[in-house]
Amino acid sequence: MSDITQEKSDRVCVVVGVGEGLGMALALRFAAGYKVALVARSPEVIGKTADEIKAAGGIALPIQSDATVERRSRQHTIESSANSVRSKF
């Protein structure tokens, strides 16, 4: 369990499906206290959400990824996204 007083730079949240609706709302909300990894299929959508977070002073890592691909590819896609988060944050 993380300490609520922990520095913002120590906390990371990964939000999948940040294109619209709940995913975007969660990403923007978490950005107030976390570094946020933004995962979606569309680079334009990820960029828009990342720009909004950065404009508000947050930290965002855009990751283009499609978790709807075949099962074997899906695991590789998810692992690749997780490795990106670990290496950047």
Q: What are 6-28's pLDDT values in tens digits?
A: 455 688 999 988 877 899 999 99
Please give the tally of structural domains in the chain.
1
The sheet with strand 35-40 has its strands ordered as 12-16, 35-40, 59-64
- Give domain status of residue 14, yes or no: yes
- Which range marks the domain in which residue 55 is found? 8-88
**Of residues 31 and 82, more confidently modeled:** 31
Identify whether the C-beta of residue 12 lies closer than 8 Å to the C-beta of residue 33. Answer: no
CA distance 21 to 48: 13
Q: Is residue 1 part of a domain?
A: no
Instruction: State the pTM of this model.
Output: 0.72
Residue 70: inside a domain = yes
> Higher pLDDT residue, 75 or 30?
30
Task: Tell me if 39 sits within 8 A of 18, measured CB to CB.
Answer: yes
pLDDT tens-digit map of 14-71: 998 887 789 999 999 999 999 999 988 888 989 999 999 999 999 999 998 876 665 5
The dihedrals phi and psi of 65, each to the nearest 5 degrees, come to -160, 150
